[in-house]
Amino acid sequence: MKTNDLILQTVTKVASPVIFLFSIYIFFGGHYSPGGGFVGGLLASGAIVLLLLSYDIKTVANILPIDYKLVVAIGLLIAALTGTGALVFDAPFMTHAYQYFDLPIIGHTSLHTAVLFDLGVYLVVIGVTMTIIQTIGESE
Amino acid sequence: MNNIVFLPVLLPFLTGIILIFFSKKIKAQRILSLLSVILGIVISIVLVRNVHHQGIMALEVSSWEAPFGIAMVADMLSSLLVLTTSMVGIAILVYSFYSIGIEREKFFYYPVFQFLLVGINGAFLTGDIFNLFVFFEVMLMASYVLLVLGGTKPQLRESLKYILVNVISSALFVITVAYLYSVVGTLNMADISRRIAEAGQPGIITVIAVSFLIVFGLKGAIFPLFYWLPGSYYVPPIPVIALFGALLTKVGLYSIMRTYTLLFYHDQGYTHELLGILAIPTIIVGVIGAVGYWDLKKIIIYNIVIAVGVIAFGISLMNEQGLSGSIFYMIHDIIIKAALFLLIGVMIKITGTSNLREISGLLNSYPFLGWTFFIAALSLAGIPPFSGFTGKLLLLRGAVSGGEYVGFAVILLSSLMMLYSVMKIFINGFWGPPSPSRPRPYADADRVLVKRLLFPAALLVAVSIVYGVAAEAVYPFISQATETLMQPDIYINAVLKE
């Protein structure tokens, strides 16, 4: 039986970009307010799961042609290299650094290498969640 | 900067990550992981040398000062264990090349192998009790994957049990750390030790010490908590069993050694006596299993349990000879257990069975395998020129000076039974006429493959011989490790920089 899920799909089209934006907001707010890489990553994969619920696996794979196992590896690599970078500057592993910059639109901002580490966490969380869900979804 | 302390963890971690990117290109996977473990051995040799010359090295990760950040601490015990781990790792990796099979290799065998090394090395090197938990989990997650990889029916059954046991023990670990934190208010091991010493170990700390014994006893298979081990270690392929049998239980024992010498040493009449009381039945149970079974894998698996008991007994003595005997024996046991598992792996490969009653007369066709196994067997039992001897001798002397005559007798008798159990393999498997059921016994096995499989095992046996013969040269390192364990102040001052 083919049900008509027009309403679900339309709502998804509106809702998923909002969830993605919220995930990015949470990710960048992590240093000063509750949030960070872990929740941000979960929210982003929540948006993808919503897409999976309203469409099927093939369609979503067409929209986002990503191998999530590689996302995990890239995330791990970013996080590990952020820590390893300290070795180059003859500091103990995982020593972070920050600096204030005057950026064109945002203005006076501090940029911290911990964000790079968090980006790694963000990608790993998305990769792991989506690998689990897709693997379970595809297996017969 | 002391960043070298972290390199034994970082190197396999980066290698493992990079290996994920091309999981289907097996040749590149093999070459890269081999290069990584070779580099690992170089790093750990440098680490041992540095610790030998400069004393304990502590790295304050992230540049946060000691009790507030995570400290990675390399004392002599940790660095020797890291060195042993990388030596065993290289042999098992080479063995895996020829025996693990293309199906497993394509599904992330080598990355997970590297992540297991991350967990083990991290657990040996950390100076923070919660970080120890995290590295335990890294190690256990990797071991779950290695145990279930391949997906045969017995593997699925046993990994269910293994995961269940370890999830429970990990939960217990977290609860125990929570208790400890609520009492002392710190997680850095040196700082915990200092605060326990200030409070003089009240009753609640002794309760926590016993909880830690239960947690690490579950991981390290001490007497009433060993029940999961024989089944779980029986099912995975040989290189994985060798990796587990040689290293995983030793991490539990190392943790007992670390906590019982650094943190909970004020009420030895209770905690250490309890450890001693549990160690003796561990040895006895192991002996019963090792003598009772007629299965190659089971015999060696129960020999792990015996060794766990012997090492735990050495820790419970808490005198210099007992501890140095324990350390000596632990390193010997890591090497020789890996070698024995690899050797019986070759035997199983040739004969196609692990039932000892169906094997006989291997010595005719494979003399080198036979005599290598013979030397490994003698070394396991502790016959003088080989490596098992010195450790046990020190342990026995420690037992005498501690007045533990029951333990003394049990260890001596257990050596006899260990010798019997492995000689049973040698006599029944290698001597005698080739089994009558086969017309041309074992000649049809792939000789090139057998030679390749035998090479890493023989290498480990050679290392073990050198370790035994050159005990005089090794001893300064062991006694340096013992000195740190006997005097926690050395460790505390090195970490907290007072």
Q: CA B278 to CA A34: how far, in whole Å?
A: 47
Q: Is the pLDDT of residue A9 over 60?
A: yes
Give the pLDDT of residue B7.
93
Give the pLDDT of residue B118.
96
Helix/strand number for chain A, H first, E second: 5, 2
Measured in degrees and rounded to the nearest 5, phi and psi for residue B444 equal -85, -5
3-state secondary structure (DSSP) of residue B188: strand
CA distance B72 to chain A (A): 10
Q: CA B335 to CA B337: how far, in whole Å?
A: 6
| Binary contact (B3, A93; C-beta < 8 A) | yes
CA distance A18 to chain B (A): 32
Q: Would you state the structure tokens that stand for residue A13, as one six-digit string? A: 């089209």
Q: Answer for the pair B46, B28: CB distance below 8 angstroms, yes or no.
A: no
Q: Would you state the structure tokens that stand for residue A68, as one six-digit string? A: 């999530």
**Which DSSP helix (H) or strand (E) runs through A109?**
strand A107-112
Type of residue numbered A24? I
Q: Is B106 on the interface with A (CB under 8 A)?
A: no
Q: Would you state the structure tokens that stand for residue A57, as one six-digit string? A: 């696996």
A contacts of B59 (beta carbons < 8 Å)? 92-93
Q: Is B24 on the interface with A (CB under 8 A)?
A: no
Q: Answer for the pair B117, B12: CB distance below 8 angstroms, yes or no.
A: yes
Instruction: Say which of B1, B14, B23 has its CB closest to residue A90.
Output: B1
The end-to-end CA distance of chain A, in Å, is: 20
B contacts of A92 (beta carbons < 8 Å)? 1-3, 6, 59-63
CA dihedral of B359, B362, B364, B367, whole degrees rounded to 10: -170
Nearest to B497 by CA among B46, B54, B56, B7: B56
The tens-digit pLDDT sequence of chain B (498 residues) is: 688 999 999 999 999 999 999 988 999 999 999 999 999 999 999 999 999 999 899 999 888 888 899 999 999 999 999 999 999 999 999 999 998 888 888 899 999 999 999 999 999 999 999 999 999 999 999 999 999 998 899 999 999 999 999 999 999 999 999 999 999 999 999 999 999 999 888 999 999 999 999 999 999 999 889 999 999 999 999 999 999 999 999 999 999 999 999 999 998 889 999 999 999 999 999 999 999 999 999 999 999 999 999 999 999 999 999 999 999 999 999 999 999 999 999 999 888 888 888 888 888 888 899 999 999 999 999 888 888 899 999 999 999 998 889 999 999 999 999 999 999 999 998 888 876 655 455 655 677 888 888 999 999 999 999 999 998 899 999 999 999 999 999 999 999 986
pLDDT tens across A36-79, in order? Answer: 999 999 999 999 999 999 988 888 889 889 999 999 999 999 99
Residues 6 or more apart whose Cβ sits within 8 Å of residue A3:
none
Q: How confident is the model at residue A88 (pLDDT cuts 50, 70, 90)?
A: confident
